[in-house]
Amino acid sequence: QAGLACGYDALVALAEAAGLGRKTGIDTGGEAAGLLPSRAWKRRVQGEAWRDGDTCNVAVGQGALLVTPLQMAMLAAALANGGTLYRPRLVLAVRDGPRAAFRPVPPAAVRRLPWSAAHLALVRTGLQDVIHAMDGSGRLARLDGIRMAGKTGTAEYGRKGEGRKHGWMIAYAPADAPRYAVAIVLDDAVSGGLSVAPRVGGLMRRVFELEAGGS
């Protein structure tokens, strides 16, 4: 109902601003752009008009919508840092010769999310509740002493009735001063909350152990 109230055009505008339906520009080859379906796409590919059900599917991340884990990690980082999308990169520093000093490669901002500070704060509060509320779908990612934020997802795929699902979760931590953002997708999962959240928790636990000097 919320998706229908917002309308397809508003949903797609925000999705495009968040980087969906386009390559992130990471410095490697073979990247997929995903698919942000449109009225023109559905008419061209499926020979049908756009319907309210299509808008509902896009609103909840289902239907013809395709995203990559890297796009979702990029979005998680933007939510964490206050709304700036940065291009993912593998190279952090370069040098001009074997004896030259390393020269940092600065991060490149792609765009700002067109969200008000109040709306972004509301979303960030909800992402913390996903993990830390008693009935949060991502509560199995919870770590002692570290407040995190995240969102789980479960996407059906394959033939209708087969019950096959991709399990998803994005997260960032620490919630109050984020340094790490992650996206994990698991094929043939029970759900994002049951199958992926524990893996996100395990990954973040190891990251903070290494940060603290663990081996």
- Please report, as a single letter, which amino acid is at residue 47: G
**What pLDDT was estimated at residue 215?**
65
pLDDT tens-place values along the chain, 215 residues long: 999 999 999 999 999 999 999 999 998 888 999 999 999 999 999 999 999 999 999 999 888 999 999 999 999 999 999 999 999 999 999 998 888 999 999 999 999 999 999 999 999 999 999 999 999 999 999 999 999 999 999 988 888 888 899 999 999 999 999 999 999 999 999 999 999 999 999 999 999 999 988 66
Strand 109-112 vs strand 103-104: parallel, antiparallel, or unpaired?
A: unpaired
47: tokens are 């020979």
C-alpha separations of 135 from 46, 129, 131 in Å: 40, 9, 9
Facing residues of 66 across strands?
35
Q: Which amino acid is at 35?
A: L
Cα separation, 137 vs 131, whole angstroms: 7
Determine the straight-line distance between the first and last CA of the chain, rounded to whole angstroms.
Answer: 49
Tell me if 171 sits within 8 A of 124, measured CB to CB. Answer: no
d(CA 59, CA 75): 16
Distance (Å, rounded) from C-alpha 90 to C-alpha 85?
16
Q: pLDDT tens, 128-172?
A: 999 999 999 999 999 999 999 999 999 888 888 888 999 999 999
Q: Please spell the DSSP secondary structure of the chain, one letter per residue.
A: -HHHHH-HHHHHHHHHHTTTTS----SSS-----B---HHHHHHHH-----HHHHHHHHTT-TT-B--HHHHHHHHHHHHHTSEEE---S--EE-SSTTSPPEE----EEEE----HHHHHHHHHHHHHHHHSTT-TTGGG-BTTB--EEEEEEEEESSTTS-EEEEEEEEEESSSS--EEEEEEETT-S-IIIIIHHHHHHHHHHHHHHHTT--
Find how far residue 68's CA is from the centre of its chain: 8
